[in-house]
Chain A
Amino acid sequence: MVSTELANKDEAETSSSAQTLFWGLISTVVVLYFIGLAFLTWSDYNRATTRAEVELEHFAELYEQAVDATLSVANVRMWGLIDELSTAMLDDPDQFEAQYGALMNSAVEEIQQVDALVLIGADGVVLWATVEPLLGQYLGDRAYFQTAVGLGVDDYTVGVPIQSRATERRITPIAWPLIGIDGKVRGVLASSLGEDYYAELLAADGVQEDMFVEVVTANGERAFSSGRAQRDPDTPVFSARKEIPALDLYIDVTRSKEAVLSSFWQRTLVFTGLATILFLTVINAAIRARAQSTKLAQALRNSERDRERIRVAQSEFDAIFENVGDGIIVYNDNNKLHRSNRKARELMGVSSNIKAVEQLRSMIPPFSQMDEEVAIHRIHVRNAENESVAVQCRVMKMHLHGDYIAYNVLQDISAEERLVAARTAFVTSVNHELRTPLTSLAGSLEILHERFGEAMPANAGKLLSMATRNADRLLVLVSDILTLQAIDQQQLSIQKERVSVSEVLSEAIAANTGYGVNRDVQLGIHGGPNASDAVYVQVDTVRMQQVFSNLISNAVKYTPRGGTVKIGADLDENAVTFYVCDSGPGIPRSAHDRMFKRFADPVHSRDNQASGTGLGLAITRELVVRQGGDISFQTRSAEDGDENPGTTFFVRLPRDDDAAPTKGTPV
């Protein structure tokens, strides 16, 4: 036990340290997981922003090229127009209109990059304009005019956005110098960047919805935007800028950080969520697996312990099995199991299990034919010394694991049998040896008294009576003792037969009238069924008459001369109660307990003279009980002060009315 406890303690320590290790590991894994997750998120964030910036750069470059390209195209065409105008007379607006108006108008129509066309003379006065109100106005103060005037062939300038004087619209001016055939600047051809055209160009359809593309002039003012609503300057944004250096124009491409990162956040959220769910599932599984394995380990340890216990119990059982005083032989019905102990092999005079089983099987009926669970056989075996031994074999049939197994317990009953035989012989011999001379003695005294009593002197007659009475008493005593001994040794057999109650009563009267006559006491049936009534009991008639003989002789003995002993039977539904009623002195309360005891103290002092053995009622009760009945009494004792004393003995037996009368047939 001590070692087991120590082992338990060790196990507990081991398991607790393993527990700590496990939880440490789990915590580390969790921390590492979250660190990893944070790192992943951070790097993903970086990648997302970098990508957004790079993307914006690309877009900016794309737009820059697009704007640059369209402007170049416009420039080429404008220079074509300028070439046409190189020889135009700029003095008379009406002549110019007549000569070049159509050309100018078709140029405005064709060159989508520009919205309007204004021809400004070298003096700064508008000579021709698609927009009527500008005619004659002075625009020489405009920055684009002054820049354009200084430009050479194939050059143009884009100015900062201004408020148009004619249309009150915000416009982005673009201007070309009008260089004459002589290479001198004759004026400026001005226009504004085509708002619809650029709006469409920058609209960036099919690109990110949230992207703003703006064309910004050198002073930072916005010339065009992608045409959507104004962007909120407070919103944090990613942006990229590309310069069109020749024109001092910048392309700004911006996206709000929120929009750019929304997909990142979504992705991160989904990824983190899924990963965490997965991770937690795995951790949970790990914890469960751990718990399971702990339980399993515990169960394994328990089963190991149980196995050990079973092993100990088994060896204890083996030791007991082998050394127990009774022989034991075990076998099954397919003859695969053979087991026996030392005593069994000794009894069988064999040395092996198989031989013991074979020998026993040859001696008793096959147990497969057993109807009952248990059967007892008496067999005689020859032991190693070749002596015949009486053996009681108790076979227990058990159904185990689909197989019938016979457990046979062999008990050496030779000593017991010898003892029983010796006892029986003793009883028989005492019976014979005592009764034979007593019969002669009593018989001869009786004849002497009958035949020659009158011829004897009075004193001799008295002595003869005394001798007769005591011889009778001795006979009864011997008979009683032998009966009791037979009862004690279970040798008293009861042979029940079915007899009518009236028959039992009349036999009782007939057989016992003698007692009454001798003492001048009347004996009579006082109640009970008529001879014709079919009331039956199961009794051994000989034993039943012995019962009546005892009860009636007692009753007669105590009834005063001239009195009556009443005999009868009361009936109820299930039982018959025979009674024998006397008008004797009754039994004092103090004697009630010992009425049915053997050799009890006599109830009345005069019993000493009466011929009592002190065994009569004990035997009577045994005989009644053996026949399945019970005996009791009611009494009024003169000694206890009752005025009308007397005793009634009751013998109650179960009724057996149903079957047809079977008198004479032993049951």
Chain B
Amino acid sequence: MRVLFVDDEDDIRELIEFALMTEDDIEPTFAATGFDAIATMETQAFDVIMLDVMMPPPDGMEVLRCARANADLDDTKIVMCTAKTSHESEKTFRALGADHILHKPFKPLKLAEYLRSIA
């Protein structure tokens, strides 16, 4: 399973990398900025994209819009990772084409299980 993780926090990316190190069926790719993510999406195919919402522009929403504008990514599941508790934003995400919402903080060690369950 190819998964693209988009998060501007180095620590989080590193942590996820650590957590998934032992999971052979998951092949993670990382992007540190929205631009990076959009560029990566253009060139590679993914089963799942995990998008952090709160990033310096372009933020998670922008990236989501781009991803959903790209027909090649129609089969790709997009998961929005957010610390927001408001439902309003969740509605917006779903309206923009997000498949799942993952509330932060999540446990890195349970991430693999989660990814398998949604893929």
Binding site for B on A (CB under 8 A): 428, 431-432, 435-440, 442-444, 446-447, 450-451, 475, 479, 482-483, 486, 491-495, 666
Q: Contact at A447–B18, with CB atoms within 8 Å?
A: yes
Mark each residue of chain B from 47 to 84: 1 if its CB lies under 8 Å from any CB of chain A, else 0.
Answer: 00000001000000000000000000000000000011
In whole angstroms, what is the CA distance A254 to B46 when docked?
154
Q: Is B85 an interface residue (CB 8 A)?
A: yes
Residues on A with beta carbons closer than 8 Å to the beta carbon of B85? 431, 482-483, 486, 491-492
Q: Contact at B86–A442, with CB atoms within 8 Å?
A: no
Q: Is B109 an interface residue (CB 8 A)?
A: yes
Quote the shortest CB–CB distance from B106 to chain A (angstroms): 8
Q: Contact at B108–A435, with CB atoms within 8 Å?
A: no
> Residue on A with the closest CB to B111?
A443
In whole angstroms, what is the CA distance A495 to B108 when docked?
28
Q: Is B24 an interface residue (CB 8 A)?
A: no
> Residue on B with the closest CB to A442?
B105
Q: Is B116 an interface residue (CB 8 A)?
A: no
Q: Contact at A440–B83, with CB atoms within 8 Å?
A: no
> Residue on A with the closest CB to B9?
A436
Q: Is B15 an interface residue (CB 8 A)?
A: yes
Assuming the contacts A440-B9, A492-B85, asked whether A435 and B105 have C-beta atoms less than 8 A apart, the reply is yes
Quote the shortest CB–CB distance from B69 to chain A (angstroms): 25
Please pick, from A439, A493, A494, the residue contacting B12 in the complex, using a CB distance under 8 A.
Answer: A439
Residues on B with beta carbons closer than 8 Å to the beta carbon of A492? 85-86
Q: Is B88 an interface residue (CB 8 A)?
A: yes
Residues on A with beta carbons closer than 8 Å to the beta carbon of B15? 439-440, 443-444, 447
Assuming the contacts A432-B54, A439-B104, A442-B105, asked whether A447 and B19 have C-beta atoms less than 8 A apart, the reply is yes
The 6 nearest A-B residue pairs measured at CB: A440-B11, A439-B105, A493-B87, A443-B108, A443-B15, A431-B83
Residues on B with beta carbons closer than 8 Å to the beta carbon of A479? 105
In whole angstroms, what is the CA distance A428 to B54 when docked?
10
Task: Enumerate 6 A-B pairs (CB-CB under 8 Å) in ascending A order.
Answer: A432-B83, A436-B12, A436-B104, A446-B107, A447-B19, A491-B85
Residues on B with beta carbons closer than 8 Å to the beta carbon of A440? 9, 11-12, 15
Residues on A with beta carbons closer than 8 Å to the beta carbon of B11? 437, 440, 444
Residues on B with beta carbons closer than 8 Å to the beta carbon of A446? 107-109
In whole angstroms, what is the CA distance A446 to B87 when docked?
29
Quote the shortest CB–CB distance from B112 to chain A (angstroms): 12
In whole angstroms, what is the CA distance A437 to B54 when docked?
14
Q: Contact at A491–B83, with CB atoms within 8 Å?
A: no
Quote the shortest CB–CB distance from B33 to chain A (angstroms): 16
Residues on A with beta carbons closer than 8 Å to the beta carbon of B22? 451
In whole angstroms, what is the CA distance A436 to B83 when docked?
9
With A436-B104, A439-B15, A494-B87 given, can you name 9 additional A-B contacts, CB distance below 8 Å?
A428-B84, A431-B83, A435-B105, A440-B12, A446-B107, A447-B18, A447-B19, A475-B105, A491-B86
Quote the shortest CB–CB distance from B22 to chain A (angstroms): 8
Q: Contact at B105–A447, with CB atoms within 8 Å?
A: no
Residues on B with beta carbons closer than 8 Å to the beta carbon of A493? 86-88
In whole angstroms, what is the CA distance A447 to B106 when docked?
13
Residues on A with beta carbons closer than 8 Å to the beta carbon of B83? 431-432, 435-436
In whole angstroms, what is the CA distance A2 to B38 when docked?
86
Residues on B with beta carbons closer than 8 Å to the beta carbon of A435? 83, 104-105
